[in-house]
Structure 1
Amino acid sequence: MNRKWLVVIIVCSFLIGVGGTYSGITWIVPYWKNNTADNNTDAGQETEITSENTSLDKVAKAYDLIQNSYIEKVDESKLIQGAIQGMIGVLKDPYSVYMDKETAASFKDSMDSSFDGIGAQIAIEEGKLVIISPIKNSPAEKAGLKSKDEIINIDGKSVQGLDLYEASSKIRGKKGTVVKLEIRRNGLANPINVSVTRDEVPIMTVFSDVKKNAGQKIGYLEITSFSEGTAKDFTAELKYLEQQGIDGLIVDVRGNPGGMLLSVQEILGQLVTDKKPFVQIADREGNKNPYYSELKKSKAYPITVLIDEGSASASEILAAALKEVNGNTLIGVKTFGKGTVQQPVPMDDGSNIKLTMAKWLTPDGNWIHGKGIEPTIEVAQPAYFHAHTLQLEKDLVKDMNNEDVKIAQELLKGLGYGPGREDGYFDEQTERAVRAFQAMAKLPVTGKITVETSEKIMDTIIAAVQEEDNDLQLQVAIKSFNK
């Protein structure tokens, strides 16, 4: 093959695909419009790029030079992959990536009903690999990983230089195996190590309930992600709630990292009216493509949305639409802030290029990327909801001074045991707090934080977080419907 044409084909292949990922949302939309004029234009596309981009000759020359003159024989496919990765790297866009055949297959598998891994959505922010949110009841959540945690090492190896999907492939693995993550977390001076046992992560995305308050029935629908069957499940659960005669509805997208555009579109089609677009897609020239619901009349009952820092992508589309179209209330804290559109383009060899091609805007035309969506009523959870994970390799005893002691002090305080100081120094007051906890937990009262004591502390924290009465955001939402 002529090397000049090989390079041209690589460049043209960016523009061919029709499947896409919409800011973490899978969508199907043709990049080129199918009409007669456009078909004629497409026929001459490669010739136009060849004639106008003569600088590609330099790329072809470099390719030939390396292939024919480098001291060692180089695999042709690796050179091509390197060229693509180099071009994408120049963009300095963490969401534009190249996936080889294996990584592309793994990415496709992640859209299935279940997969083996730790169950956490990750992203790259300002060059840092961060967790958007752990999936509900996943190994990641059980291990104490939290939204905005920065992953700095995977199994002892730095993540520096890895793109999103390279990092993801290293974190995922067979059920029963362990991945060790070194985490940098806001509020801690030093990184912490978290071991997560991989397991099957089922994608159960809709949970419903009826909450009762002051004689009212409040429908509750939690959406953990927007997957293939989410809209269908949402419709069925909403119908069931409405048959109960609900006086209001809470839609909970806290910790929801996003999903499929079609899914959130079908859900919004049941909740927001057609007076404004529920989302707008803006291309590089600023042209906007609005998406509308066909609903003419709002629900007879009020709707409140629960959001937090783990609500991203499709969750933000839903929250913004309900707020800006219907005027519904958002309760919680500011969302993650992801508003770009990526479109994956499959290559002939099974590899994939995912390129940022547009951005999405709220109904009022706001771009929330890097900013998030502010709640109507800001409510933070109790401090122990954000408690750090305590994983010990040795006992903590009086007069120690380290990060693990600081974490233990924060946890004990959250449970109401009053350790006194919270600076990481294990003093007499901290020892008394430990003894009190051990006595209540029916553990040997030693005043030392053993592995058994630390595990019991974490179990108690998890139980407190799962107790509905302790969920301040939910309680405020329920009471917001009071007549």
Structure 2
Amino acid sequence: MNVRARFVAIIVVLAVLLGAAGSYVGIQYFGTTSNENSDQTANADQDAENFADLSEDEQKEFIEGLSGGADIEKVEQAFSVIQENSLIEADENQLIEGAIEGMLDTLDDPYSTYMDKETMEEFDQSIESSFQGIGAEVSMVNEKVTVVAPIKGSPAEEAGLKPNDQILEVDGESVEGLDLYDAVSKIRGEKGSEVVLTIERPGSSDPLTVELVRDDIPLETVYTDTKEIDGKKAGVIEITSFSEKTSTEFEEALKELEGEGIEGLVIDVRGNPGGLFTDVQEILEQFITDDQPYVQVEDSQGEKSEYYSELKERKDYPITVLQDEGSASASEILAGAMNEAGGYDVVGTKSFGKGTVQQTIPMGDGSTIKLTLYKWLTPEGNWIHEEGVEPTVEVEQPEYFYTNPVEIEETLKFDDNKEQVENVQVMLEGLGYEPGRTDGYFSEATEAAVSKFQAEEGLSQTGEVDEETGGKLQELIVEEVRSGENDRQMDKALEVLFN
């Protein structure tokens, strides 16, 4: 048996991931730190490079040193017993991969996973210019595939998927018991192909069915805008994820806005599921001065590394950060640092809450282990894992921003009293109609509002909500949300900016 296969616990320090679902291939370890831990990392890298040159006995000794003297022979014995005696034919590669997956499963950590060669190839696509799928960042939460955030402009966003939606089925097949990457492989697919997701949404008593058409998902990550408020000009930079080019794109966008004479800046990381640590690091170094760390990293032994910029003077204009429940990991690093180290306000709702750091560990045959090795802490040493970053100014969006896809199994009509009616009433109210109430009872006022909506949209004027009327309601609500015209969080961020 090959020594590389036998001793699968080799820890090779190569790459860092901060995405909530690990959708981004990592790059070299954190970089320059304020203490001697960087030297320890360099030594580990050197050890890893020299490993292949060692004899089998030396490799075994090296690995046993890393494992603290664990009884590796027991694993080898189990492998031999199964391979030589099992009535069921045992494939060597399957046994090895099963052993790796089993070890990772015992960690009870949704972010530590094993990816075979095929899965790793799909994983790699996430740092290319685009990939094909539905465009949603997902994670494993309480053993359920959970949406962290839909990607801007993706089929997932257009279909109304929301943070914390839990995916129960893909095309009618349950994903229960699958690991994250097996579930993701079922969701992804070629452009133009259809997929039906059954989801469980917090606050909704019945599962929802969402139909999507897969598409190309471009990885544009930085968008800019300017807004006027009280005669002052504010720049807005939206960051949808942190990938390899994000920090460069951000720097260019900021220079362009500053050249236009902005008097304040809003950094919008709502719905941003995270990404590469190095990119959020490079962005923070443009705002946080060198007198305090912008983030801390703690290893399994409790040793902490602090990360500092070389910036001497802060920007001469005010800044606010926008976040929501879909802001995770690297987004939370940014929000936490800007608040605690920069003193800037964070506007919106509480963030997702991912405070761990993963590293990819190549296994030599195209497969990879992604293992949680560190926790990251805010500048003041707070660990936000499963807690999230609290906004300094809490603002909810209008109620219709949180409505569900309209599912019509039976036409909704006068005197009905059910959850679907409440959902429709909130939509009608958000579009400027007056349903009279939003408690789920289909009243005469609701009937009149539906009839008026149908008349203005050229639909059959029945006063009842059938599949066509429900679909049109949903379409217009999505357009309304994406228009940003009633974006209370953005309005408050601008208000806070100049106060």
TM-score of the superposed pair, with normalisation by structure 2: 0.90
Hey, what's the Cα distance between the residues in 2 that align with 1:445 and 1:119? 36
Select 2:18's aligned residue among 22, 26, 29: 22
Structure 1 residues 73-152: aligned runs within 5 Å = 73-152=89-168
Q: How far has the Cα of 1:71 moved from its partner? A: 1.6
Hey, what's the Cα distance between the residues in 2 that align with 1:229 and 1:38? 28
The alignment yields a C-alpha RMSD, in angstroms, of 2.4
Hey, what's the Cα distance between the residues in 1 that align with 2:479 and 2:222? 22
2:476 paired with 1:468:
no
Q: How far has the Cα of 1:203 moved from its partner? A: 1.1
> 2:33 matched to which residue of 1?
none
Q: Is the 8 A contact 2:437 2:446 kept in 1?
A: yes
Q: How far has the Cα of 1:252 moved from its partner? A: 0.6
Hey, what's the Cα distance between the residues in 2 that align with 1:343 and 1:167? 21
Change over 3 Å in CA distance of 1:231–1:306 after alignment to 2: same
Structure 1 residues 12-411: aligned runs within 5 Å = 12=10, 15-23=11-19, 24=22, 26-29=26-29, 33-35=41-43, 39=47, 44=58, 46-47=60-61, 49-50=63-64, 53=69, 55-392=71-408, 395-400=411-416, 402-411=418-427
Change over 3 Å in CA distance of 1:435–1:60 after alignment to 2: same
Q: Is the 8 A contact 1:94 1:125 kept in 2?
A: yes
Hey, what's the Cα distance between the residues in 2 that align with 1:403 and 1:196? 23
Q: Secondary structure at the match of 2:497?
A: coil
Change over 3 Å in CA distance of 1:180–1:217 after alignment to 2: same
Q: Which moved more, 1:405-414 or 1:137-146?
A: 405-414
Q: Secondary structure at the match of 2:160?
A: coil
Hey, what's the Cα distance between the residues in 2 that align with 1:350 and 1:158? 28
TM-score of the superposed pair, with normalisation by structure 1: 0.93
Hey, what's the Cα distance between the residues in 2 that align with 1:454 and 1:36? 59
Q: Is the 8 A contact 2:323 2:346 kept in 1?
A: yes
> 1:481 matched to which residue of 2?
497
Q: How far has the Cα of 1:452 moved from its partner? A: 2.1
Change over 3 Å in CA distance of 1:393–1:113 after alignment to 2: farther
Q: Which amino acid aligns with 2:492?
A: V
Change over 3 Å in CA distance of 1:85–1:191 after alignment to 2: same
> 1:9 matched to which residue of 2?
7
Q: Secondary structure at the match of 2:288?
A: coil
> For 1:23-55, what per-residue CA distance to the aligned partner results, in whole angstroms no more than 9, with x for missing partners?
557341189634599859976563155586463
Q: How far has the Cα of 1:418 moved from its partner? A: 3.8
Q: Is the 8 A contact 1:7 1:60 kept in 2?
A: no
Hey, what's the Cα distance between the residues in 2 that align with 1:6 and 1:260? 29
Hey, what's the Cα distance between the residues in 1 that align with 2:124 and 2:45? 34
Hey, what's the Cα distance between the residues in 1 that align with 2:296 and 2:303? 10
Change over 3 Å in CA distance of 1:9–1:462 after alignment to 2: same
Hey, what's the Cα distance between the residues in 2 that align with 1:280 and 1:308? 23
Change over 3 Å in CA distance of 1:88–1:423 after alignment to 2: same
Q: Which moved more, 1:451-460 or 1:361-370?
A: 451-460
Q: Which runs of 5+ in 2 are unaligned?
A: 31-37
Hey, what's the Cα distance between the residues in 2 that align with 1:401 and 1:66? 59
Number of paired residues?
Answer: 479
Q: Which moved more, 1:223-232 or 1:90-99?
A: 223-232
Hey, what's the Cα distance between the residues in 1 that align with 2:137 and 2:244? 17
> For 1:319-370, what per-residue CA distance to the aligned partner results, in whole angstroms no more than 9, with x for missing partners?
1111111100111111111010111111122111111011111111111110
Q: Is the 8 A contact 1:144 1:388 kept in 2?
A: yes
Q: How far has the Cα of 1:427 moved from its partner? A: 4.6
